[in-house]
Structure 1
């Protein structure tokens, strides 16, 4: 996956999309990007680009307003971000008015320069309930209360649910969007799911290396939990083999890897391979090395549903600090060694 590491905000515009109103409240001016506003937007953009649920997308071939106006901006046909943002806000507001379960919020459109090229960013900032003080004068005395603010924006420490980052369309590119589309609740899942991708963006998700790697790791762990329940030694061998393969190989052939794991157990070999493929994977899994490095930095173990153990990868593989002893009966001993100091949390 192509990771975005450098972000520069050129310009930004905000609009109000309150579905209780008849029309969106459209801004005629760009935001003044002072230090606080720039930091606020930059933090949200960083979180979006680093989010594990960020996916590749590609515009569908059919005519779509979002695709057309964003490409006009990115190619210089119309370089007015305010005009672009107003058109995007109108399109999203029409969809919101047709579905009462889509939450109101502000729409922020940003012009970005990144290490992967120029982009138009779309951030849907669903309102969050904040609280502030209220000062009243009662009988010539000051009374201070707390009142809710229903239209607060998510803080820089919070994650937004829906965002898109649009690149200039180049036919041979495998993707032209990066999309974050999280579902918040059962009502949205049932009635409003995928409105952001399908209806608003007019796009389809494109599977990338990180998606494949995450799916493979999750599927392999689920299979191990379900099928190797009373043999901790064998489960440890499988998990170690998976991690070794992820670190050493750029791609994993599911059938070949299954044969390596279960050479003497044809039924397990077939069941493992079939189960992994049933999760939507093809026979060859491209490995996202950046995600693997991040994922394997720490080993998290839940032992007999009674003990949680968190170990960094270096310590896990250091025999002077941590050791796995096989008892020969399917059980293992996990030994923490040479402890100099410890604290309770």
Structure 2
């Protein structure tokens, strides 16, 4: 697992891509960041590579101009670094100009090193509109008013659009958003700028997996609370044991002895092209939804059950012949009212 301190900033340059004002201002000199600026850049890179919102990408070697540019540059040579950054900034500015409401931005073009591997980070730092006070003078009077200004991203927030490229094999991870281009909402970064193929993010894959499983469980198990809890327990154990989800193996564990349910699971998973996927969760917050199960009775009683407690057998669901449910919680040492 990469830590923040593993990231070593090599070189950086900043370009202005102000599509609001029709200005593409390309810097001709490298930044000379001090320790504070290096920390700022390092923190933003770390937030991206440790996020489960990023997607994997693969260049279309035949059509991607960005890959062609990167194959011919010399990252170690300053003039080549600057010229390459300018060429890529021009390509991004053109792609931004084709879309409706794509935010103007500064492009921070950075190379960094982790354990001997060199990466390129394209951090699109979108402008935000804020109000700030402004002092005005008229004769002997001082007026304080509000002035709308544009600002860059803060230290605590995350860059909303970014690309991280491994320069040894050109594999990439990217954060992107859809904007309207020629009347259609598209992922302009991957489709129009990078020209690459992407997979879904880890967070999206987990959401799809859980939605498919829940839909099948609701269809076939109805109000069978215990079966639904057992299914959630299986997913939670899968995460605890490996932090990864083997989609095919999970299907076998949950529905292997139920041919009709397994067939529906396979069909729905294949619709999302996840049938052979095995994805790893990087950030534990992504799997938070697996840690607890909230139950709400028809009488309005809410019970939050940690799956760890359920897995230990301290929680039991009993259903009698009339369909009435009894919930048993064992081994309670203390109860606190909140």
Name the TM tier (shorter chain): 0.7 to 0.9
1:196 is paired with a residue of what secondary structure?
A: helix
Q: Gaps spanning 5+ residues in structure 1: where?
A: none
Q: Secondary structure at the match of 1:16?
A: strand
Distance (whole Å) between structure 2 residues aligned to residue 240 and residue 206 of structure 1: 27
1:100–1:142 distance in 2 versus 1, CA, 3 Å: same
Equivalent in the alignment of 1:221: 214
Q: Deviation digits for residues 71-105 of structure 1, max 9, x if unmatched?
A: 33466577643222111111111222233432211
Residues 1:299 and 2:291 aligned together: yes
Please provide the CA RMSD for this pair. Answer: 3.7
* Structure 1 residues 206 and 337: CA distance shift in structure 2, 3 A: same
Match for residue 182 of structure 1 among 172, 177, 183: 177
- Label 1:206 to 1:285 Cα distance change in 2 as closer, same or farther (>3 A): closer
Distance 1:116 1:311 in 2: 45
Distance in 2 separating the partners of 1:220 and 1:9: 43
Q: 5+ unaligned residues in a row in structure 2: which ranges?
A: none
Contact kept? 2:74, 2:80, Cα under 8 Å: no
Structure 1 Cα separation of the partners of residues 2 and 217 of structure 2 = 31
**Contact 2:56/2:200, CA 8 A, preserved across alignment:** yes
Deviations 1:85-126 (A, max 9, x none): 111111111222233432211111001112371011101111
Whether 1:199 and 2:198 are equivalent positions in the alignment is no
Residues 50, 253 of structure 1: CA spacing in aligned structure 2 closer, same or farther, 3 A cutoff?
Answer: closer
Deviations 1:198-220 (A, max 9, x none): 22112111578887566434432
Shift of residue 337 of structure 1? 5.9
Cα distance, 1:191 vs structure 2: 3.3
The number of aligned residues is: 332
C-alpha distance in structure 2 between counterparts of 1:78 and 1:69, whole Å: 16
Contact 1:16/1:25, CA 8 A, preserved across alignment: yes
* Aligned position for 2:269: 276
| 2:24 counterpart SS class | coil
Structure 1 counterpart of 2:315: 323
Alignment partner, residue 166 of structure 2: 167
Cα gap change, 1:54/1:220 in structure 2, threshold over 3 Å: closer, same or farther? same
- CA shift in 2, pair 1:327/1:123, >3 Å: same
SS at match of 2:12: strand
When the two structures are superposed, what TM-score results if normalisation uses the length of structure 2?
Answer: 0.80
Q: How far apart are 1:145 and its partner, in Å?
A: 2.7
- Deviation sequence 1:168-206 (CA, Å, 0-9, x none): 244xxxx611121133x6x47963512211221121115
Could you tell which deviates more after superposition, 298-307 or 22-31? 298-307
C-alpha distance in 2 between matches for 1:298 and 1:261:
16
- Cα distance in 1 between the residues matched to 2:57 and 2:257: 42
> Is this contact kept in 1: 2:54–2:175, CA < 8 A?
yes
C-alpha contact (below 8 Å) 1:107/1:125 kept by paired residues: yes
CA displacement 1:47-76 (0-9 Å, x = unmatched): 211221212211112253321332334665
Alpha-carbon distance between aligned partners in 2 of 1:308 and 1:146, rounded to the nearest angstrom? 47
Q: Given the two structures, how large is their TM-score scaled by the length of structure 1?
A: 0.79
Of residues 216-225 and 140-149 in structure 1, the stretch that sits farther from structure 2 once superposed is 216-225
